[in-house]
Amino acid sequence: MESGALKPSRLLVVKMSSIGDIAHALPVVSQIKRALPNLFIGWVVKRRCASLLEGNPDIDKLYVTSDKPGASELLGLRKQMRADRYDTAIDMQGLLLSGVVTWLSGAKRRVGLDRNREGNFFFLTEHTVPGKDPDRHAIDILSGFAHSLGVDYPEGSVPVQSYLATSDSAFAHEHINALHKPIIALNAGASTIYKQWPADHWAELGKAIVAGGASVVLLGGPRDVETVDQISGIIASHQCVNLAGKTNLRQLASVVACCDLMVSGDTGPIHIAVDVGTPCVGLYGPTNPRAYGPYGNRNVVIWKGLPCSPCHRNPTCNGRVDCMKRISATDVLKAIEKLIPGTLGDGPRDAQSVNAS
């Protein structure tokens, strides 16, 4: 426990979206609760992400808003929050809406980042949590909120979110129980085309995994179904289960928790995998893996580090996505073998990849 910081008795967490951002905030809030077990914690979240937080033993009250709350909804939220008498609110989002919600809470102490946007700082009493280093991991940045409350956060650690891992274990067992170990989840979905690994690369990887004696679970969202169906058809193995478009967030978390490893691009599910304790191989190109890779030294990131990368939301490749295409299935197989030696028989072991921390 750090000395000199003000310790709250009733804390409001404002981290409303997205899936990956919520997953990054979870271990920090868990650490705060462990250090201050009598602390009452409320959390404001948008409806599309709320299922990630439902049943969380560290959260005493969950406030769920629509994805674009209007004035009347915000006034109703204000009434609920003020009735719960928060003395401290931490705005982990740093945007206009989160700032307004933080201010409406009525908390006298309102803490935020020093790199906030959209006039967010007008709604805070403190905008002092360091967040300007582009190479600092998102979880390390959010750990600054723990420090502001007098709580140490052990760098590199992620308290396992057991409630997520076991929330729908029946679904997981029903769909993957017949697969023999090790089971490797391949999450082929991504939020943008620039974060997507090519489908033929996924198919090549999946075929090599099952040929080596391991099993594959294919994952993706509703818009990834057609692509993942094609990948599944190429792999064509009874040791490959296709769950793309068939899981909600809690089912996804339970499935990934039952897997021995996950391979994914930069998207929310890879951070859920970290939260449930499953090692990951992250495939990164347009985003900075030092800031957004799977957190902790039990994971591996493959990143080619091209001169144009990371480009974030400003790609210069005219849609070629060279940074992702240059990651080969062999690169990923080497990383898998590094994390789980012997998975692929006598497969390659000299992976040229970097640990994410």
pLDDT digits (tens, 9 = 90+) for 146-199: 999 999 999 898 999 999 999 899 999 999 999 999 999 999 988 888 899 999
Which residues make Cβ contacts (< 8 Å) with residue 98, sequence separation at least 6? 14, 15, 16, 91, 92, 120
What is the predicted pLDDT for the residue at 313? 73
Indicate the residue type of 217.
V
Mean pLDDT of 117-127: 93
Q: In whole angstroms, what is the distance from residue 103 CA to residue 183 CA?
A: 46
pLDDT band for position 345 (cuts 50, 70, 90): low
What is the predicted pLDDT for the residue at 252? 97
pLDDT band for position 67 (cuts 50, 70, 90): very high
Strand partners, 215: 183
Q: Tell me how far CA of residue 323 lies from CA of 150, 206, 278, 302, 310, in angstroms.
A: 41, 21, 25, 10, 9
What is the predicted pLDDT for the residue at 193? 85
Q: Kindly state the tokens that stand for 106.
A: 């009525």
What is the predicted pLDDT for the residue at 212? 93
Mean pLDDT of 312-324: 85
pTM summary value:
0.92
Using an 8 Å Cβ cutoff, are 158 and 43 in contact?
A: no
pLDDT > 70: percent of the chain? 95
3-state class (DSSP) for residue 273:
helix
Q: What is the mean pLDDT of the chain?
A: 92
For 121, phi then psi, to 5°, come to: -65, -20
Using an 8 Å Cβ cutoff, are 344 and 214 in contact?
A: yes
Q: How many H helices and E strands in the chain?
A: 13, 13
pLDDT digits (tens, 9 = 90+) for 254-281: 999 999 999 999 999 999 999 999 999 9
